[in-house]
Amino acid sequence: MKRFNPAYSFLYILWIVLFVIAPLVLIVYQSFFDISGHLTLANYQAYFGSGTYLKMTLNSIWYALLITLLTLLISYPTAYWLNQTKNKQLWLLLIILPTWINLLLKAYAFIGILSQNGSVNHFLTFVGIGPQQLLFTNASFIFVAAYIEIPFMILPIFNAIDELNPSFVNASRDLGATNWQTFSKVIFPLTINGVKAGVQAVFIPSLSLFMLTRLIGGNKVITLGTAIEEHFLVTQNWGMGSTIGVVLIVAMVIIMFVTGERRKKGRKGE
């Protein structure tokens, strides 16, 4: 289309200016104001000066790491073996289907499953361990977050394995490599891009899942997302919230830089 009239894409350009650039500029701008509206660096001083915020950030990163690791451990074998099934596209569709269920509903299901009288506790009583406090623990937060993220990890890894040329695997076997050697020297390195894409798709949202820390984690785990939500909607200290937001954006850029190009959160299907 040589003569595409730019007037038609006016709305698109307007969108970029108003909803991409302006909000980013505003969140950085807002981070330099304290709660009473004075221009100040106090927010950054508070963030980097007091141990609380730094500890919270490290804690949040640690939990996001655990969630990502757990998701990866479950997803890689699933993606690998899914590739060897017949009708693999249909099975993949079934893996993706739960992502269409509203995230809040899935979290809500776990409130029932993990509660004092829930099914898991029934099972634990049945096998003789006795009921445990499951809901509102850190472990339940990690587990439910991993549950929600699993399809987003499986999808890119599945695609990477799907593209893997099977002759490499055959060649490796023919040359006498053991199963483990084939996996660690051939299959895994060749599918590392899928793993990276999956880690990106899981790690960044894991830093900001504030609804789960509230509903499942019982406010014991404070992630960066929880802190931002708290500052914006509860204590109304937008300046501090924006400061944490800026930190989260920087963290995001670093992760994207480390794991290469992030495809997109779109995860869902295609």
* Residue 220 binds to another protein (criterion: CB under 8 A): no
Find the binding residues for another protein in span 122-181 (CB under 8 A).
122, 147, 150-151
Instruction: Collapse the DSSP code of 188 into the 3-class scheme (helix H, G, I; strand E, B; otherwise coil) and give the result.
Output: helix
Query: Smallest distance, Å, CB 51 to another protein?
Result: 23
Q: Give the DSSP letter of residue 31.
A: T
The DSSP result for 80-105, as a single string, is HHHTTSTTHHHHHHHHHGGGGS-HHH
The SS3 of residue 56 is helix
Instruction: Return the residue of 49, 112, 189, 260 that touches another protein, per CB under 8 A.
Output: 112
Find the binding residues for another protein in span 194-213 (CB under 8 A): 204-205, 207-208, 210-211
Applying CB under 8 A, does 233 fall inside the site for another protein?
yes
State the Cα–Cα distance between residues 93 and 270, nearest whole angstrom: 10
CB of 162 to another protein, least distance (A): 16
Residue 56 interacts with another protein (CB under 8 A): yes or no: no
d(CA 171, CA 174): 5
Q: Is 19 in the site for another protein (CB under 8 A)?
A: yes
CA-based R_g, the chain, Å: 22
| Member of 39, 54, 103, 258 binding another protein (CB under 8 A) | 103
Q: Which is nearer to another protein, 60 or 191 (CB)?
A: 60
CB atoms within 10 A of CB 167: 9
The nearest distance, CB 3 to another protein, in angstroms, is 6
